[in-house]
Structure 1
Amino acid sequence: MKLYDVGRICVKTSGREAGSKCVIVDIIDDNYVLVTGPKSLTGVKRRRANIKHLEPLDKKISINKGASDEEVLAAIEKAGLTDFMKEKVKPELTATFI
């Protein structure tokens, strides 16, 4: 099982969209993937993301490589994960400052 594969649901851990869930749509190379929210559902735009800024979840939807936002949205609704995708995740702080 690959950790970062097409259809895997992840949480963005950094950037302005940190805490939002997204879906991997395509694998660009060893370090980057193409993700989408879609924006109408989670607020995450379709964009390239570094895998170091993603945390994969155990959930996965069935989509084709390069699927459009409408196809991703339909697959999320079919899997019954619409409410799950809308929920924000509070990112944990990794450093402690004293």
Structure 2
Amino acid sequence: MVSIEKGRVCVKTAGREAGEKCAIVEIIDENFVEVIGESVKNRRCNIAHLEPTADTIEVSNDAEAIKDALKAL
């Protein structure tokens, strides 16, 4: 089982960004996290709408660095 944690790379499973890779940048509560991705806007997302992968990246306050790290995967 892959855990939901800061820096975990996920694939969105619902909404207009379904199928896109994103990274968790902040855990808000037990149901919601903040995500950002190459083609995913920086927004709050329900954990039920994410499929975590085995990959993790280093998360900083620099959105462009996070997008570049996702592009490299």
Sort the TM-score into its range (normalised by shorter chain).
0.7 to 0.9
SS in 2 for 1:14: coil
The partner residue of 2:65 within 64, 68, 71 is 71
The partner residue of 2:55 within 53, 56, 59 is 59
Bigger radius of gyration among the two: 1
Amino acid at match of 1:54: L
The list of structure 1 runs, each at least 4 consecutive aligned residues, that deviate by more than 6 angstroms after superposition, is: none
SS in 1 for 2:4: coil
Q: What TM-score does the superposition give when structure 2 sets the normalisation length?
A: 0.87
Structure 2's unaligned 5+ residue stretches are none
Post-superposition offset of 1:70: 2.2
Q: What TM-score does the superposition give when structure 1 sets the normalisation length?
A: 0.66
Show the counterpart of 2:24. Answer: 24
Post-superposition offset of 1:34: 0.2
CA RMSD of aligned residues (A): 2.0
Amino acid at match of 2:66: V
Structure 1's unaligned 5+ residue stretches are 85-98
Same amino acid, percent of matched pairs: 49
Give distance in 2, aligned partners of 1:2 and 1:68.
25
Amino acid at match of 1:52: A
Instruction: Decide whether aligned partners of structure 1 residues 18 and 56 sit closer, same or farther in structure 2, where only a CA change above 3 A counts.
Output: same
